Amino acid sequence: DAGVIQSPRHEVTEMGQEVTLRCKPISGHNSLFWYRQTMMRGLELLIYFNNNVPIDDSGMPEDRFSAKMPNASFSTLKIQPSEPRDSAVYFCASSAGQGSTEAFFGQGTRLTVV
Amino acid sequence: AQTVTQSQPEMSVQEAETVTLSCTYDTSESDYYLFWYKQPPSRQMILVIRQEAYKQQNATENRFSVNFQKAAKSFSLKISDSQLGDAAMYFCAYRSEDNYGQNFVFGPGTRLSVLP
């Protein structure tokens, strides 16, 4: 398996524009996580899905952020409108089952909002 | 909600020496799982070691071992015979065993430098 695949790897956009980050989890994994990493706040859990259903989105910073998982092989994280403070590295991770099963991370998307 | 604390923002160790990274967590659950991840400059998150809370025996993976103190809610990582390739950010993570087992929370990280 190719692992968790995220696209794009880098994104530069202007303030106010819509940004969509994409993630393809590892086949057979039923859990998917979106994280945001910044120097100030570290690695924050934004939302996680179990069997395509959002379980906890309490980490989503505000209504400008939304996430979907229309099927088991694809998820998106959308920011609309984007702001400079959204600049960060966004990671997607997937996991099979629960418990001691580790989360496998994608390479991340570095988002810069100017 | 569970929280994970890493009190050492930065650490350094001499090559071939031993270093211990600290991690504490807060939870009311009795069943859970703990992990250490490594993030080198490449940005890739790599699992280093895992520990099940119901196991009293400390996990070991080659040069990496943990000291798990459940009552103290402490989970430190010991790196023996440190190598230059060990230089990275290290994150402690907690995963709950709730109905969905999906809560996966990370600490703020410790940046480890290895001096030649």
Query: Looking up tokens 């940004």, which residue turns up?
Result: A19
Indicate yes or no: CB of A43 within 8 angstroms of CB of B106. Answer: yes
pLDDT band of residue B29 (cuts 50, 70, 90) is confident
Q: Looking at CA atoms only, how far is residue B54 from chain A in angstroms?
A: 11
The predicted pLDDT at position B104 comes to 84
Please report which confidence band the pLDDT of residue B102 belongs to, taking 50, 70 and 90 as the band edges. Answer: low
**Per-residue pLDDT band at B77 (split at 50, 70, 90):** very high
Distance CA(A34)–CA(A91), nearest Å, equals 6
pLDDT recorded at residue B76: 98
Collect all residues from B whose CB is shorter than 8 A from any CB in A: 33, 35, 43-45, 47, 50, 52, 91, 93, 95, 97, 100-109
What pLDDT, on a 0 to 100 scale, did the predictor assign at position B107? 94
**Mean per-residue pLDDT for A90-100?**
84
CA atoms within 13 A on the CB side of B64: 18
Nearest to A99 among B33, B43, B93 (CB): B33
Which pLDDT belongs to residue B79?
98
CA distance B70 to B53: 7
* Across B34-49, average pLDDT: 95
pLDDT at B101 over 70: no
> What is the percentage of chain B residues whose pLDDT exceeds 90?
79
- What residues of chain A lie within 8 A of the CB of B101, using their CB? 97-99
- Write the DSSP string, A7-72: E-SEEEE-TT--EEEEEEPPTT--EEEEEEEETTTEEEEEEEEETTEEEE-TT--STTEEEEEEET
Q: What integer is the mean pLDDT of B76-97?
A: 95
pLDDT at B103 over 90: no
Q: Using the 8-state DSSP alphabet, how is residue B31 labeled?
A: S
Q: Looking at this protein, which amino acid is placed at residue B87?
A: A
Cα-based distances in Å from B55 to A1, B30, B64: 31, 12, 17
Residue corresponding to tokens 């998307």:
A109
Q: What is the mean pLDDT of residues B99-103?
A: 58
Is the distance from CB of B13 to CB of B114 less than 8 angstroms? yes
Residue B104 has its nearest CB partner, among A33, A42, A108, at A33
Summarised one tens digit per residue, pLDDT across range A29-81 is 989 999 999 988 889 999 999 899 998 888 898 899 999 999 999 999 999 99
CA B98 – CA B30 distance, rounded (Å): 10
What is the model's pLDDT at position A100?
Answer: 65
